[in-house]
Amino acid sequence: MSEGTEVFHTNVRERWNAGDAAVRGAMEEWASYAAQGRDALLGGDGAALGKLIDANFDLRASIYTISKGNLEMIQTARAVGATSNFSGSGGAVTGTFEDDRMFAKLEESYAPLGIKVIRPKVNP
């Protein structure tokens, strides 16, 4: 479901250059999310990080056109209670989940879509 960055970002640069308030406001908000995300990671606050992941996508969807397939991936994760956002220009999503039960539900929900779920191992 990925699409080239030149497709996804078609007119955002032009909108920025034209002073589009929505685009400029989104960029400022994303900078704030980055700072808050760093604090959440360093503080071990997974709930705050999850809210930022979802907020990041919601803001993205407010200024970009999201394809049906990519939106379905986001909605599928959120329907089981996981957080979800794009990684790049679509075709894959990243997010957080609460426990093994939720991870199994993600796998079950994505399977009919032909989507595999991977669980990275993170070493502290």
Look at residue 56 and tell me if it is in a domain. Answer: yes
Place of tokens 């979802």: 54
pLDDT for the residue 73? 94
Look at residue 124 and tell me if it is in a domain. Answer: no
Q: How many domains does the chain have?
A: 1
pLDDT, tens only, 24-67: 889 899 999 999 999 999 999 999 999 999 999 999 898 888 88
Look at residue 91 and tell me if it is in a domain. Answer: yes
pTM: 0.82
Residues 2, 91 contacting (CB under 8 angstroms): yes
Structural domain for 46, as ranges: 5-113
Look at residue 122 and tell me if it is in a domain. Answer: no
pLDDT for the residue 91? 77
CATH code for the domain in which residue 86 is found: 3.30.70.890
Look at residue 120 and tell me if it is in a domain. Answer: no
First to last CA, the chain: 32
pLDDT, tens only, 73-112: 999 999 999 999 987 666 789 999 999 999 999 999 999 9
pLDDT band of residue 6 (cuts 50, 70, 90) is very low
Rounded to whole angstroms, the Cα distance separating 66 from 64 reads 6
